[in-house]
């Protein structure tokens, strides 16, 4: 663990404080007995300093304890959960510094907690190690919440993109091209681009790119990528350099993004890249034109994505960034689903919720998502249309006016699906759904187009009580378990 030395300091400080309190000594009294200053002892107890051997001996003598016991990493029973917390990867996953929380103060507070709270900490640790609170999922959940509390919009990154465009005198109208951006990377940041070596490694065919840092960094790009995907990676590398981001993954793949810092910095770089490629002013004008249409036109949306030489996900992410702060649509969700040809599984791999609670639930569970969602429709449609052939970048879009069965909340949602270039057996859809209130109805003219399908939707099949659902592929087993518990609880109350 890269912070192991820091954690050793913390544990020693916790033991010293606990032993001092057990001996009913104040800091002043321990200072007198050990010939060490109060300020130095305070620094040790806070985990900021680790004393040298002779000073540890002085402390052991003052506290009348064995030297080896004092330096042992073993803590007393009530502090054991803290040691487990420190030894686990949980602290690395928690973005404490990004929320203004000092690690040392956090540990100090936990050390003074009751036995009950210590037991709760132990429970959370065990859940994190053995259930879906894995390191990857934990960090991704933390990032999702971080984005949501910032309205998924970062003004400082937007301003950095504007400054980058000015600094390098880039032309952004109508769109930005691959050539000038790649030349900045090559000439200004001393990069070398290599699209040949990937073919020598079958194991790397699912990766988009790998960076070999050095005096001349080499960016190995997967030659199978589309121009839009290569452009996006170039934009991210420019972001890492221009924003001086050092804590990053050198592999362009979500498979290698586990720590919160890597995830956050990857998000910042991706935000920068999308903002660079899809200029805010131009993009906002085009979206306003799109929303002003009286009728839904699937080709209009696809043509916009093509215009910016973007992938559907880049386009929808940019729309999600600007919807709340710029377009005035403050209640929405963003979803990304994956499916593999020949299976009936649809995996929700990314979600963002802004000012809403309801959307397809069961994120990262084994439950089956409601098949009435447009996200699933477009995946089924493009799969049937291609019928095992290569799409050549073909996109399929769809729209739905939906109402949740339980809450009656209504959304207008549109989605675009596309075949994965690196894995033709995998299809991905991205969806953005806007909550239908007075603001969104004024903004999105085509929301009540009679040609748009209207459906009652729900979360997952396992949590759905719609009795006549023809699309259901699993019984509502989770819901039944919950209902059975409620029935027993009510019966006990009546008794």
- Percentage of residues in the chain with pLDDT exceeding 70? 82
C-alpha distance from residue 315 to each of 91, 229, 370, 418, 474 (Å):
34, 12, 25, 13, 33
| Residue ranges, CATH 1.10.10, the chain | 149-277
For residues 434-451, average pLDDT: 94
CB atoms within 10 A of CB 476: 20
Query: What pLDDT band is residue 433 in, cutting at 50, 70 and 90?
Result: very high
pLDDT, one tens digit per residue, over 248-302 is 889 988 665 657 788 889 999 999 999 999 999 999 999 999 999 999 998 999 9
Closest CA to 374 of 441, 316, 296, 454: 454
> Would you call the peptide bond into 174 cis, given omega within 30 degrees of 0 as the criterion?
yes
Lowest mean pLDDT among 87-96, 341-350, 372-381: 87-96
The topology under which CATH files domain 4-131 is: 434 Repressor (Amino-terminal Domain) (1.10.260)
Report the largest interatomic distance among the alpha carbons of the chain, rounded to a whole angstrom: 85
Lowest mean pLDDT among 9-13, 338-342, 444-448: 9-13
Q: What is the pLDDT of residue 81?
A: 62
pLDDT, one tens digit per residue, over 183-242 is 999 999 999 999 999 888 888 888 899 999 999 999 999 999 989 999 999 999 999 999
Tokens standing for residue 8: 């050793």
pLDDT, one tens digit per residue, over 357-372 is 765 555 556 778 888 8
Q: Which residues 6+ apart lie within 8 Å of 25 measured at CB?
A: 33, 63
For residues 411-418, average pLDDT: 94
Average pLDDT of the chain?
Answer: 84
pTM over 0.95: no
For residues 392-421, average pLDDT: 90
CATH of 149-277, one of 1.10.10, 1.20.1330, 3.40.1760, 1.10.3470: 1.10.10
Residue found under tokens 């030349």? 183
Residue found under tokens 């087993």? 477
C-alpha distance from residue 399 to each of 269, 346, 363, 369, 377 (Å):
30, 18, 22, 17, 9
d(CA 44, CA 51): 7
| Residue ranges, CATH 1.10.260.40, the chain | 4-131
């Amino acid at each position: 663990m890269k912070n192991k030395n820091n954690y050793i300091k913390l544990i020693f400080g916790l033991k010293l404080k606990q032993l001092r309190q057990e001996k009913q000594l104040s800091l002043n009294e321990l200072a007198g007995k050990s010939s060490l200053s109060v300020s130095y002892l305070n620094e040790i107890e806070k985990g900021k300093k680790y004393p040298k051997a002779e000073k540890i001996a002085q402390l052991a003598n003052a506290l009348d304890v064995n030297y080896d016991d004092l330096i042992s990493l073993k803590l007393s029973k009530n502090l054991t959960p803290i040691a487990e917390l420190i030894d686990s990867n949980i602290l690395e996953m928690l973005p404490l510094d990004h929320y203004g929380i000092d690690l040392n103060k956090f540990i100090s507070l936990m050390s003074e907690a009751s036995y009950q709270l210590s037991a709760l900490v132990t429970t959370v640790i065990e859940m994190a190690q053995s259930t879906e609170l894995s390191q990857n999922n934990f960090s991704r959940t933390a990032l999702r919440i971080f984005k949501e509390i910032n309205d998924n919009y970062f003004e400082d990154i937007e301003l950095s993109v504007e400054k980058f465009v000015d600094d390098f005198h880039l032309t952004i109208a109508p769109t930005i091209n691959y050539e000038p951006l790649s030349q900045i990377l090559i000439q200004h940041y001393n990069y070398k681009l290599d699209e040949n070596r990937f073919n020598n490694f079958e194991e790397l065919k699912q990766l988009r790119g790998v960076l070999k840092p050095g005096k001349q960094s080499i960016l190995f790009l997967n030659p199978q990528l589309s121009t839009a995907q290569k452009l996006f990676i170039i934009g991210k590398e420019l972001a890492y350099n221009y924003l001086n981001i050092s804590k990053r993954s050198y592999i362009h793949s979500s498979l290698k993004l586990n720590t919160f810092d890597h995830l956050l910095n990857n998000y910042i770089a991706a935000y920068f890249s999308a903002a660079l490629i899809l200029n805010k002013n131009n993009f906002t004008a085009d979206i306003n034109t799109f929303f002003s249409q009286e009728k839904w036109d699937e080709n209009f949306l696809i043509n916009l994505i093509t215009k910016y030489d973007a992938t559907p996900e880049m386009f929808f992410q940019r729309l999600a960034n600007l919807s709340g702060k710029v377009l005035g649509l403050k209640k929405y969700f963003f979803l990304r689903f994956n499916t593999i040809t020949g299976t009936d599984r649809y995996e929700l791999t990314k979600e963002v919720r802004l000012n809403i609670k309801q959307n397809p639930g069961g994120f990262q569970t084994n439950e089956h998502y409601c098949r009435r969602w447009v996200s699933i429709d477009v995946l089924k449609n493009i799969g049937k249309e291609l019928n095992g052939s290569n799409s050549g970048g073909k996109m399929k879009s769809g729209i739905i006016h939906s109402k949740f069965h339980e809450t009656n909340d209504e959304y207008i949602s549109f989605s675009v699906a596309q075949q994965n270039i690196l894995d033709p057996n995998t299809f991905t859809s991205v969806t953005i759904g806007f909550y239908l209130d007075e603001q969104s109805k004024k903004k999105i003219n085509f929301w009540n187009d009679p040609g748009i399908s209207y459906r009652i939707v729900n979360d997952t099949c396992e949590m759905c009580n719609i009795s006549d659902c023809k699309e259901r592929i699993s019984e509502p087993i989770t819901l039944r378990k919950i209902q059975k518990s409620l029935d027993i609880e009510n019966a006990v109350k009546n008794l």
